[in-house]
Structure 1
Amino acid sequence: MSKDQRASEVERRRQCRQTMSKEQSSTSTTNTGRNCLLSENGVHEDAILQHSCGGMTVRCEFCLSLNFSDEKPSDGKFTQCCSKGKVCPNDTHFPEYPAYLKRLMTNEDSDSKNFMKNIRSINSSFAFASMGANIASPSGYGPYCFRILGQVYHHTGTLHPSDGVSRKFAQLYILDTAEATSKRLAMPENQGCSERLMININNLMHEINELTKSYKMLHEVEKETQSEAAAKGIASTEVTMAIKYDCNSDPGRYNSPHVTEVAVIFRNEDGEPPFERDLVIHCKPDPNNPNATKMKQISILFPTLDAMTYPILFPHGEKGWGTDIALRLRDNSVLKNNTRQNVRTRVTQMQYYGFHLCEGHVQSYFKCRKVNSTVYCGFIFKNGGQSDKFH
């Protein structure tokens, strides 16, 4: 929009406000206490100003995201997408989104309708961690509102459930496809899910998800350890898995021969994880531990939390936001208008997700996928009162 057009629009809106102000003397107050401008035929809808941000046609000069023309700041550099070039979290490699899930989301598969209808329960069925919160939905009528009391927390459990408790979440990944699918479909929240759909997603997760491969390796090392202990007539040693906080760390730092892209498997003789920030998964609850039934809480700062909670969005088990993503240094063309360097040196969660959710990113995660899964998967985030917790 040119300066002349903008000035004309501002004048038009000013005249409309003046007209509305003069007619307020004839304002009629309804029994609900709301004021409405009335004419002989009703409300003056023409007097209501329509707000427009312009077309989404302007690209950011740093990250090439698409932005609304009227949201362009006075200096011409956008902040919502990449904070004027300071946010560029490209140190993490995002593999291309699976073609099968793309077809399901874009209504190009025969199971698309069933998938989108049950997408939240399907995601929970294949999740490695559960989200919990004290949900307090407001009373009365109106649009859906997700309201919580307190904080949102995430939990994960052991490889095997306690005695008398059914397997769920990550505990199902060590079973064969038929048994795992049967147990998932037996859950009340999955009664409407297609069996074929659940089998296909299960096979996909076993094929490409690094967390699935890690849990399977943990089970294999556990069985191997038990067999060796039985042959020697000794007690089996404890086997644990550490999901790495830093997926790019040197595998040699972990004194273990069993390493995947995202996790390390330990036996007692192998030692313990060298970093306290790693998430340790045990095979079984300790019956001698009074807190054995409690789940391990995952920090919101843990980089793999998104992949563990939303496997449909992050099917490869890839790393998400973490506290180790640095802000990029600004070049001289930016510094000439603002010479003061920011005190903050790391990318915040808001900056990270804002960057990836912006439309039109050439180098962003969802652009590489050719489909914005957060748009198509919107119902994943809707809580309809179902329980996502480990029991």
Structure 2
Amino acid sequence: MSSSAAERVLRLSHVNRPVYTQCCKLGAVVLPVPLRPSAPFMGLFQEAAFLDNIRAYNSMFSMTSFGANIDESVNITRGPYTFKVSGQVSHWIGSLCPPSSEKPRFLQLYIYDTENEVSNRLRFFDNPTQGALDERFVSIIGSTLNATNEYVCTFKSAADIACGMGLETYSVRLYNNVSDRRYGAPSPGTLGAIIAGDDPNSSQYDIVVHSKDGLPHRISKLHPAYMPFQYPLLFPFGEDGWSPRMRSRTNSECSDRNITVNMYYSYQLHARSNMFSLLLCGGRLFQQYIVDAYICVEQNRLDYVQNHQEQLRSEYVSGVYDALSRGDSEGRFIGRRIFLPASFVGGPRYMYKHYQDALAICRIYGNPQYFVTFTCNVKWPEIVRYMDTHGVDHSQNRPDIIARVFQMKVEAFILFLKDDKPFGNVDAYLYTIEFQKRGLPHCHTLVWVAASDRITTAAEVDKYISSELPDPHLEPSLYKIVTECMLHGPCGFLNPKSPCMRDRKCTKNIPKPCQSSTTFDKDEYVHYKRREGAYHTMRSRV
């Protein structure tokens, strides 16, 4: 079965007409076709030197600062690039003109000393640790944004008009809700206005940029310019992002026609035939965009929970009930808190609910018989075929494809356990998906089998589990898989700089001692057979 067929909705699909809901909700979500920028600008996304530093080039032209604690330590060692942040993420915008004692940054570089714009940007982003940035790339980006990005044109026009009128202080208000604006690239003159005082037509989510303020202001995630301001390289025309006024195009009588944040980004992250998307070609910047989009989705869910506490019975559950369960008996320990229901993924009640479900299974079926770890492999034919078809050089640049293929593989793996019965009749199973430090997912699975198929002796373990290399002559395919994907190290004195080394010892206790047969210890922990002189392989010249 192909990867595309695995994502179809079975109850709605036919053999020659598959139906999908993950991308557009059966056609209810329809966004404009992405605009194609100029050929020189598109050519940058084919340059390896540009893609390696695309986040630096984007920061150079970004109109807002990215407020987050970025963890670069995960990229010190070798391996695929991973964008990782911790804590809250926010976008901040400053004034149009820098203070007299400071150099221009972000938005200010668009209107400050425009004759030397390229040299000003390169001087500000001169960082010897990230390598030299190409002046040619900066010139192409600058000329493209100055000509096509309506937000850039708006700020430049505001500065020119204010200068012509002799205004020393002024503000530019970008409206959050414009009645005649459509999805996609904004029309000239519809984004905002120059104001000198209070504007009665403004809302609390409007962006107000002052000419001389000195203080950065946080942009609301509900404003359609939230993403275009931060990612001008992905949205060179200043296309609108998500906003609460977006509506679906469904013909049903459903009263709720709102396009949620999750629906919007799900549509954006899906590639479509005969439709070019600059967003999906962003490489490392695309990783940052996905993280930013996920945080917007999560923040939207938290805002919903916070604004609907009355329907969630928070006064009872989060107040008195939680206090009594902790053993508090005095009223001063009971306070108003934000209650996260069990339906909120990742919350404490969500985790506790699934923990209780697992204990209920153990109460019925006893201890699980098998613990299986199913790992992701970027060399799977489905991933490789997609990357080759769409011209993606590195699979790390499309984490969305890796996650989608892995989810389909997990579902096929569970189906294999139940239908093919490699361990016998399956009574129950549980699994959880985790992500490694470098981004690849893996699945931990607990399997309960029927009493007649359970392992009772140590000799029966060898039928299902082996800690020895397969015979390269009798099982060449299995030998190749094990030696390429399932070996640890080398570590120890052969490689003291291995990530698993702590205090000159392997934290995984590798290598394990050899023994001629599989045995159980007094705690019923299994020790697998590892015979001396078995098959071997070379890895990292060891």
| TM-score when normalising by structure 2 | 0.46
2:58–2:232: 8 Å Cα contact kept in structure 1? Answer: yes
Whole-angstrom distance in 2 between the partners of 1:354 and 1:261: 28
Query: 1:160 is matched with which residue?
Result: 97
Give the SS at the match of 1:216: helix
Cα deviation, 1:64-119, whole Å, max 9, x if unaligned, reads xxxx01221122231111112221234xx7533332222221x3xxxx23322221
2:201 equivalent among 238, 260, 274: 274
Residue 87 of structure 1 pairs with residue 29 of structure 2? yes
Aligned-pair distance for 1:321?
1.2
Structure 2 regions of 5+ residues with no counterpart? 14-18, 182-187, 289-542
Residue 295 of structure 1 pairs with residue 216 of structure 2? yes
Query: 2:2 is matched with which residue?
Result: 54
- Tell me which amino acid in the other structure corresponds to 2:2: G
Aligned-pair distance for 1:263?
2.3
Query: 1:242 is matched with which residue?
Result: 173
Give the SS at the match of 2:107: helix
> Which one has the largest radius of gyration?
2
- Going from structure 1 to structure 2, the CA distance change for 1:214 and 1:279 (only over 3 Å counts) comes to same
Whole-angstrom distance in 2 between the partners of 1:342 and 1:152: 34
Query: 2:533 is matched with which residue?
Result: none
Residue 125 of structure 1 pairs with residue 46 of structure 2? no
Whole-angstrom distance in 2 between the partners of 1:185 and 1:136: 24
Q: How does 1:74-113 map to 2 (within 5 A)?
A: 74=10, 75-76=12-13, 77-90=19-32, 94-105=34-45, 107=46, 112-113=47-48
Give the SS at the match of 1:328: coil
- Tell me which amino acid in the other structure corresponds to 2:207: L
Whole-angstrom distance in 2 between the partners of 1:314 and 1:351: 19
Residue 134 of structure 1 pairs with residue 74 of structure 2? no
Identity of aligned residues (%): 27
Query: 2:404 is matched with which residue?
Result: none
Query: 2:247 is matched with which residue?
Result: 326
Query: 1:19 is matched with which residue?
Result: none
Q: How does 1:173-188 map to 2 (within 5 A)?
A: 173-186=110-123, 187-188=125-126
1:177–1:203: 8 Å Cα contact kept in structure 2? Answer: no
Aligned pair count? Answer: 270
Whole-angstrom distance in 1 between the partners of 2:256 and 2:105: 41
Whole-angstrom distance in 2 between the partners of 1:221 and 1:318: 24
Residue 264 of structure 1 pairs with residue 185 of structure 2? no
Cα deviation, 1:10-44, whole Å, max 9, x if unaligned, reads xxxxxxxxxxxxxxxxxxxxxxxxxxxxxxxxxxx
Residue 356 of structure 1 pairs with residue 268 of structure 2? yes
- Tell me which amino acid in the other structure corresponds to 2:139: I
Give the SS at the match of 1:188: coil
- Going from structure 1 to structure 2, the CA distance change for 1:177 and 1:161 (only over 3 Å counts) comes to closer
1:242–1:273: 8 Å Cα contact kept in structure 2? Answer: no
Query: 2:279 is matched with which residue?
Result: 374
1:134–1:148: 8 Å Cα contact kept in structure 2? Answer: yes
- Going from structure 1 to structure 2, the CA distance change for 1:317 and 1:267 (only over 3 Å counts) comes to same
Residue 223 of structure 1 pairs with residue 163 of structure 2? yes
Q: How does 1:301-312 map to 2 (within 5 A)?
A: 301-312=222-233
Give the SS at the match of 2:173: strand
Whole-angstrom distance in 2 between the partners of 1:182 and 1:301: 35
Query: 2:6 is matched with which residue?
Result: 70
- Going from structure 1 to structure 2, the CA distance change for 1:205 and 1:143 (only over 3 Å counts) comes to closer
Aligned-pair distance for 1:296?
0.6
Query: 1:347 is matched with which residue?
Result: 259
Structure 1 regions of 5+ residues with no counterpart? 1-52, 56-67, 227-235, 251-258, 286-292, 332-340, 384-391
Greater relative contact order (CA < 8 Å, ≥ 6 in sequence): 1
1:87–1:355: 8 Å Cα contact kept in structure 2? Answer: yes
Whole-angstrom distance in 1 between the partners of 2:161 and 2:242: 30
- Tell me which amino acid in the other structure corresponds to 1:376: C
Give the SS at the match of 1:134: strand
Q: How does 1:28-43 map to 2 (within 5 A)?
A: none
